[in-house]
Every structure is written in structure tokens, then in C-alpha cells.
Amino acid sequence: MKRNDWLLLVAVSFYSFLFYRQSPGINFVIFNFVLLGCLAASSKQIIKSKQWLLAALGSLASALCVGYYGNLLSVIANIISLSILSTLSISENSSVVVSLISSTCAYFASPVNIILDYMERSKNRMEGHPGYKKRIILIGIPVVITLVFFFLYRASNPLFDKLAENINLDFISVSWILFTAIGLCLLYGFFYQRKLEILSACDSRPGDLENRAYKKLTLFGRELNLTDENFSGIILFVLLNLLVLIVNLGDVNYLLITKKLPDGISYSQFVHQGIDALIASIIIAIAIVLFYFRGGLNFFRKSKAIKVLACIWILQNAFMIYSTSCRNTLYITECGLTFKRIGVYVYLMLALTGLITTLVKIVKAKSNSYLFRINGWIFYGFLVILSFPNWDRIVTSYNVENNKTEYPEYMFSLSSSNITDLLPLYQKSIDSKDSVSYNSYRNEEIRKGFSSALYNFITMNDTLDWRSWNYDGSRVFGEITNSNFINSVTVIDLSDEHYHEPLPAKLKIFSKVTSMNLRNSEIRTLKGLEEFPQLKWLDISYNHISDLSGIEKLKNLEYLNLNALRIADYSKLYKLQKLKELHVGRYYISDSMADEICRNIPNLKIVIL
């Protein structure tokens, strides 16, 4: 095999080992070093390319963010970085946009390319080595015969069969084979990417406008010269400047003078409508500039006026970006922080960058190709930089500290890195004595969301190994196992989640829990409940439990809900002398049994549902 084939096999082996049934973590850091090493080994010339080194730096930076946070944004940034790096390995002058398109095509086409390349190599090998096919047959036949005798010996000799059973091939499964095959296809596209000439031609265009030749346009059968275009552009930019000036004056009036929204307009409408209009206006603004300043007009001796008007229009669009950012800030102050609202700031920064580079294009007479190339690298840089903050914790901390928790389910939908930041909100839901129905429901949702986040994190932490380690996950685990955190968790609500397993055992570190709701969670056993000796309130209704073994150890239990459970033996309850209220289904307990329970437990109230 060729050197690149060995590098591919090494990369696929690391991919299969590091990522199969694992989550993002330190495995991304190791894999990035492996891929960079393989690319450098395949061609020592590429490490001299500044663009390749920049993409390599972006790959390592985003990989370290994955190893630190393990979040989705870092993973996306790393995949994009490696895709850019792949194209730059075969075409060092490619732009970001062209690199991403080329890599995407390579990934999707890799299954076909694998077959075509194999057929081509086999053909060349047959022509170069006439005895190659015969050698395959001579090797294959003995291997097949050996396998036949292996199974025959296993069937005929119990000792050999026992020895063969010790060969553990459990790691070979259909899912593992499929996972590795997908990795092979992706990495084949990564290492054996084909250069697309049409896309490469786009990147070969110069950044500066050197050709002053003017290609005349035809409108309604008449040719337009530079004077006509200049005159048309001046009129257009004058009108557009007047129009956007009116828009900006309206924003100035609200932001600096009245500071009051018009009747019937909400903060959401004020921001979203502004963003939609801004997207359209900036796209059109850049498109118009690209049209008028595509060539000859940049060097026309009477073009000073249109250039000034175009620059003023760009600056007015920049003010629109500022006013929209102020709107978004007001929206966040009023309603709280979310990823979408952070995304608005990101978009505004990218839009401002696009306007600045467009301004540079006009002043410095740069080509359209320059604009796409420079913006591609700037946007890519933004993506890598945005991987560094822990946005989940920023969003959660802001909303909790500023009491913007009207919709707590949003914060519980984020990654597990914010669990400890949600503790004050959880404690507030427990301490709340508000009897208003909405607030009561909201507090219940907070307790359920917090309990579910805890359970899912601990379960995931138990199933993964060092390959999925990341610093943030380690930090969260350390903080939730701290005694102060453990003592703060007194209520666990995992109702209506359908877990199909003994739930309490997963949360045994929270031994201070006094209230647990496992209603309709599909559990079949009470195994693990003994880990919570301080339980006073327990709901296990609507499950598949028929045996109460283990419940007798909960000596402090005061409330118990057994509704819709077919319990054969209630005698386990007799040791719960502190039990004050028992809920059972009407069709699941006889009157005589209810009387027997009451005789054995003084002061007990049985509620028949």
C-alpha cells in the first residue's frame, strides 16, 4: 500500500476507537493531532502555507474548546476547520467558501470514489503483476479451508470449543462496523479530495482591479456607457440615502428622545422586524455596490460623487446595525437572554464586518473576489472565537441573576454545564409558598427539569470513559458531588419520563432527599430506595410495581402514593409507623386489607382514588 493508504488506515483506526459510543471531549483533541500529523506526513510542503497553518491553528483551537466544554458549537467549529484544512492540503490558495464546498462534495462522493479508485488500482496491479490474481487465489483457498476446519474442531473437541469461547469478539457488532464504515468514507474524502477546477478558477481571480476594460450593458436595446452608469448610480444612492436617513431618524427618536415604543408594538416585533429588514437591506446594499463597482467605474474620472454617496449609504447601514443592537439589548433586558438573542449580536457583528470590507473595496478598488475571500476568513475566525465562551452558563447565569425565568424549560434544554447555575432557581421553587396555579405549575416544572438534568448527567457520566472526558463535565461532576450541593437537593421529581430502570440508584449520592416523585416513570422495582432513609414523601403510582420489598426501610415516610399498582402483599407497610397518608386505587385494594393496614399503622389516613 501507498503511504497515504497507511495514513488513512491510521486515521480510521483512531476515529473508530475514539468516537464509537462516546461523546465529545478529549477524543477530539487527540484526533485533531492525529489528522494534522497525517496531513503533514503526506506532504511536508503544506506546512509552509500560511493559510494552511491558520486553518490548522483554528482546528486545534476549536478542538481544545471541545476538550474544555464538549459543546455543539465547538464541535461544529472543529468540523468546519478540518474541512477547510482538507481542501487547503491540495490547493493552498483556496478561499473558505470554496474549501467548504469542495470538502462537502468530497465527503458525499467518497463512496463512489472509493470504488472507482479501487477498480483503477486493481487494473494497474493486474497489468503490472500478471500473477497477482493467482496469488490471491493461492492465499484465499488455504484461509477458507482453515476456517472450515476451525468450526469442525470446535464441534468435535469440547476442550478446543471451550478455548475458542474465550476469544472475545463482542466489540465487533453491526453498529460498530457501520460506524467505522462511515468514518472510512468521511476520512477518504478528507485525504483523497479531488480538486474541482470550476471552484479553483473562482479563487484564482486577483484581489485588485487591474483590468480597467469596461463591458457595456444593454438596457431596452440601448448600450449604457460609464457616464450613464455613473448618473444612474448617483440618483440611486441619493434616494437610498434619503430613505435610510428617515429610518434612522425614527430610531434616534425612540432610542434617545422618547424612549417609548409605539402602541401595539412589542419588544419582540421591534427586534425581529428590525433584523429582517436589516438582513434584506445589507444584502441588497452589498449587491448594489458589487454591481456598480465591478470594474470600470472604479477608475472613471467623474466617479467621486457616486463613491462618496455609496460610502455614506454604507455608514448609514452601519448606524442601522447599531440601532438594532440597541433594540436587542432592550429586548434582553425585558425578556432575558437566549441563544437566538446572542445570535442577533453575532449577525450584527458579521454584517458590520461585511460593510467595512465593502467600504475598503470601494476606497481601494478591490475586486469582488477579494470581498468573498476576506469575508470568508473573517467569518471563519468569528466561528472559532465564538467557541471559547461557555454560552450555556452565560445564558443561565444572566437569567437567574436577573430573575428572567418565566420560561425555565429553555434553560433546562441547554447542556449539562449549567446544572450548578440552576441550583438557586431550584431552591427557590422548593421554598416558594405561592398557591397561584400558574406559579405552582412553574415551580413543578423547575423541579422536574432540574431533577431530569441531574439524572441524565449522572447516567451519561457512568456510561462514558476517558475518551469523552472534558474539563467542564469534570467540573460539573465535582460541584454536584460537593456536600453543599448534595445537602441542597431535597426534592427529586422524575415523573412522566419513562426511564424503564431502577431510578433511585442513579441518584444515591443525594441521600438528603425528603421528597421523591416517580409517578408514571415505567419502573418495575423499588431497588435503590433504601439509599434515601430521610424520605418523607413518595409517589410511585402508575408504574409496573407489584412488590413493595425495600419500602420497609423508609422509616420516616409520611406520605405514599400507590395508585394504579397491583400490590399482592401490603404487609411491608406495617413497619412504616410514621406513615400518615396512603393513596391507593379503588380496584386494587379490598376493604378488609385497608382495615388491616390501619390497624397496624396508627393515625394513618387511607385515600381511595
Any domain includes 230: yes
Residue 520 DSSP SS3: coil
Asked if residue 397 belongs to a domain, the reply is no
pLDDT of residue 297: 65
Closest to 210 measured CA to CA, from 291, 296, 287: 296
Weakest-pLDDT range from 122-131, 159-168, 226-235 = 122-131
Among the residue ranges 9-18, 142-151, 382-391, 448-457, the one predicted with the least confidence is: 142-151
Q: For residues 513 and 534, is the Cβ–Cβ distance under 8 A?
A: yes
pLDDT in tens, 556-607: 999 999 999 988 889 999 999 999 999 998 888 888 888 899 999 988 999 9
Overall average pLDDT of the 414-438 stretch: 80
- Looking at per-residue pLDDT, the higher value among 375 and 43 belongs to 375
pTM of the model: 0.83
d(CA 118, CA 123): 8
Residue 525 domain flag: yes
Same domain assignment for residues 9 and 152: yes
The answer to the question of residue 389 being in a domain is no
| pLDDT score at 435 | 44
The per-residue pLDDT for 398 is: 94
Question: Which residues have C-beta within 8 Å of that of residue 366, sequence separation ≥ 6?
Answer: 207, 208, 209, 360
Residue 508 φ/ψ, nearest 5 degrees: -65, -20
Judgement on whether residues 598 and 557 belong to the same structural domain of the protein: yes
pLDDT band of 115, cuts 50, 70, 90? confident
Within this chain, do residues 575 and 531 fall inside the same structural domain, yes or no?
Answer: yes
Same domain, 413 and 337: no
Tell me the residue range of the domain where 56 lies: 3-191
- What per-residue confidence (pLDDT) applies to 61? 96
Confidence of residue 273 (pLDDT cuts 50, 70, 90): low
The answer on pLDDT for 214 being more than 60 is no
Cα–Cα distances in angstroms (integers) from residue 273 to residues 110, 270, 287, 317, 490, in the given order: 43, 6, 21, 16, 45
Band the pLDDT of 243: cuts 50, 70, 90: confident
Q: Are residues 301 and 437 in the same domain?
A: no
In a 13 Å sphere around the CA of 148, the CA atoms on its Cβ side amount to 6
- Burial class of residue 272 in the structure, from the number of CB atoms within 10 Å of its CB (0-12 exposed, 13-18 middle, 19+ buried): middle
Shared-domain flag, residues 410 and 518 = yes
75 lies in the same domain as 183 = yes
Higher pLDDT: 144 or 350? It is 350
Q: Is the pLDDT of residue 526 over 90?
A: no
In this structure, the answer to whether residues 412 and 557 fall within a common structural domain is yes
φ, ψ at 338 (rounded to 5°): -140, 170
Residue 440 confidence class, pLDDT cut points 50, 70, 90: confident
Task: Provide the mean pLDDT of the chain.
Answer: 84
What total of structural domains would you count in the chain? 3
Q: What is the pLDDT of residues 32-42, one digit of tens each?
A: 999 999 999 88
- Whether the pLDDT of residue 171 is over 80: the answer is no
Residues in CB range of 377: below 8 A, 6 or more apart:
54, 95, 96
Structural domain includes residue 503: yes
Nearest to 422, CA basis, from 340, 479, 478: 479
Given a cut of 80, whether residue 293 has pLDDT beyond it is: no
Is residue 16 located within the same domain as residue 106? yes
Average pLDDT of the segment spanning 174-186: 90
Please report how many Cα atoms fall inside a 13 Å half-sphere around the Cα of residue 487, on the Cβ side: 3
Counting residues of the chain whose pLDDT is more than 90, the rounded percentage is 38
580 located within any domain: yes
Asked if the model's pLDDT at residue 134 lies above 80, the reply is no
- 137 and 232 inside one domain: no
3-state class (DSSP) for residue 538: strand
Residues 361 and 489 in one domain: no
Q: Which sign, positive or negative, has the C-alpha torsion 436, 442, 444, 450?
A: negative
Q: With a cut of 80, say whether residue 199 has pLDDT above it.
A: no
The residue among 173 and 362 whose pLDDT is bigger is 362
- Is it the case that residue 269 has pLDDT exceeding 70? no
Which of 341, 366, 391 terminates a domain? The answer is 366
Q: Average pLDDT, stretch 193-210? A: 66
Query: Do 27 and 148 sit in the same domain of this protein?
Result: yes
Instruction: Identify the H or E element spanning 459.
Output: helix 437-463
Of the candidates 191, 213, 233, which is a domain's last residue? 191
User: Sorting pLDDT into bands at 50, 70 and 90, what band is 62?
Assistant: very high
For residue 245 the three cell numbers come to: 436617513
What CATH number should be reported for the domain holding residue 447? 3.80.10.10
What pLDDT does 133 receive? 59
Of the pLDDT bands very low, low, confident and very high (cuts 50, 70, 90), residue 296 is: low
Residue 505 lies in a domain: yes
Integer Cα distance of 15 and 187 in angstroms? 9
In DSSP notation, 301-370 reads TT-HHHHHHHHHHHHHHHHHHHHHHHHHHHHHHHH---HHHHHHHHHHHHHHHHHHHHHHHHHHTB-HHH
Q: Is residue 345 part of a domain?
A: yes
Q: Please compute the mean of the pLDDT values over residues 530-554 and round it to a whole number.
A: 91
- 260 vs 145, which has greater pLDDT? 145
Question: Could you tell me whether strands 222-224 and 491-493 are parallel, antiparallel, or unpaired per DSSP bridges?
Answer: unpaired
Question: Strand 491-493 relative to strand 581-584: parallel, antiparallel, unpaired?
Answer: unpaired
Which of 347, 366, 385 delimits the end of a domain? 366
Cell numbers at 314, concatenated = 454604507
